Structure 1
Amino acid sequence: MLILEDYLLLTLDDETGKAAVDVSYREQAAAGALLVELALLGRADLAGDGDGGRVGRIVVRDTASTQNALLDEALDVVRSKEGATPRALIEPIVRLKPATRAIESLAERGVLRREQGRILGIFPTTRWPAADSRHEDGLRTELWRVLVDGGRPDARTGALVTILSASGLASQVLASGGDRGAPAVVGGSRRWGLRDRHAVDERAREIARESWAGAALKAYVDEIAAAVLVSTTVATTAATSAAMNG
């Protein structure tokens, strides 16, 4: 699974197939997740002192195929704009519709189920309930260990949490799953109050600040997270404005 796919599974309600969180900026967060994945695979990085370019700009380290069409297309975007800031790469990758395509891929692989219908019997709609939740259950167990129990994340989980934190969704995606992922001793149905959510969000911000990966990778992910934060803020503002004017 890609980090992008993990992100999407966490943001969809397993039963209704509808978004469990604000989706106005889903494509922007998805673009950031792809850029992070390219770094974890050693394909992209931030330029350093010895790269002959401007320090802190994105540079391609390996042009070999990732064996994933969406990731390869994102890598092509990075290659075409090598030397750009992380923020400048978000919108070009958004134009690939990464979230939309990743959801369709998850359905094709039997992880999600496509359900089509109509709102008010007129407007077509598509929902994506879970068909196989085993991967997501494992993911939620790991997030619970890290965000609730205070465990240390590996690089992949640290990157996912950083993206969730940047898009303001850490506590929302955990709360949307109820007790899924919680140790068996918890039992019952947990009510997520404001104190719980604040604690999870603060832990997510703490992880985003921690050195859960090498210095170079951490610096790269931090830059991508900052770019996602800016992009999601812009997308949310635009969506709110459109709703008010509509």
Structure 2
Amino acid sequence: MDELTLADELALLAHDDDGTRRLGQPALGYGLAGALLVELALAERIDVVDKKVTVLNPTPTGRPVLDQALARIADDKPRKPAHWIDKLSKKLTEQVLDGLVAGGVLRREEDRVLLVFPRTRFPTPDGAEPPAETDARARMTRAVTDDGPVDPRTAALCALVKAVGHDRKVFAHLPRAEVRKRLKTISEGEWAALAVRKAIEQVQSAITVAVIVPAASS
């Protein structure tokens, strides 16, 4: 499989090696949609101008999921990230997982709980953590335990994990207070181009509202 996207990495982090999902919906879907926006910003395809997503370059990236999102954004008027996070999140989890299965990173397993309730899981082919996920975890751990500069992709992944509230599980082996402080520093740091930082800021805000507000009113 080609180099994984941020959405791919987030999907892997959201599942145990036995295929059990540890990050529920709609948080995962929103996080994956936010990952697409950030990835497109990293690829210099979009920017956030006056708090609205604007296409800088409609040229496809060669990655189907990203290019479908880019085409939808290009065919519309500039809209806030929250709009696109909601629209792009529809069936996105399944699409990203299907891509990981097609690439041999995960496999699909269907069974029934108590012989009655259907369940679909996405375990790894050999029961071990995929190398790509191991690499992502190692990069993120270095980022939150060191005080030096963080590369843009790792910083973006850290920010996305924080936005969907999955940081407690991803960094369960590290002191909670120190992790939260460092993640805040990373999210606000001068680690990437202005367009990417603006995208991260707006995506974090949109995901937080999308995830927390419905839960608070339920």
TM-score (norm 1): 0.80
Larger Rg: 1
Q: Deviations over 1:209-239 (max 9, x none)?
A: 111112232122211211111112245447x
From 3, 8, 14, the counterpart of 1:5:
8
TM-score (norm 2): 0.89
- Distance change in 2, residues 1:92/1:9 (3 Å): same
Map 1:221-236 to 2 at 5 A.
221-236=200-215
- Distance change in 2, residues 1:23/1:94 (3 Å): closer
Distance 1:73 1:234 in 2: 28
Paired position in structure 2 for 1:220: 199
Paired position in structure 2 for 1:187: none
Determine helix, strand or coil for the equivalent of 1:218: helix
From 201, 205, 215, the counterpart of 2:180:
201
State the one-letter code of the partner of 2:41. Answer: A
Q: Does 1:150 align with 2:147?
A: yes
**8 A Cα contact 1:81 1:89, kept in partner:** no
Determine helix, strand or coil for the equivalent of 2:147: coil
Q: Deviations over 1:95-130 (max 9, x none)?
A: 2x2221111110111111211110110111111112
Determine helix, strand or coil for the equivalent of 2:156: helix
**8 A Cα contact 1:13 1:129, kept in partner:** yes
**8 A Cα contact 2:143 2:155, kept in partner:** no
Paired position in structure 2 for 1:78: 73
Distance 2:109 2:83 in 1: 35
**8 A Cα contact 1:20 1:173, kept in partner:** no
Which runs of 5 or more residues in structure 1 are unaligned? 48-54, 176-191, 242-246
Distance 1:207 1:12 in 2: 24
State the one-letter code of the partner of 1:69. Answer: P
Determine helix, strand or coil for the equivalent of 1:124: strand
Deviation of residue 142 (structure 1)? 0.7
Which runs of 5 or more residues in structure 2 are unaligned? none
**8 A Cα contact 1:24 1:236, kept in partner:** no
Paired position in structure 2 for 1:39: 41
Paired position in structure 1 for 2:19: 17
From 136, 140, 160, the counterpart of 2:137:
140
- Distance change in 2, residues 1:214/1:105 (3 Å): same
State the one-letter code of the partner of 1:8. Answer: A
Deviation of residue 160 (structure 1)? 1.0
**8 A Cα contact 1:43 1:62, kept in partner:** yes
Identity %: 31
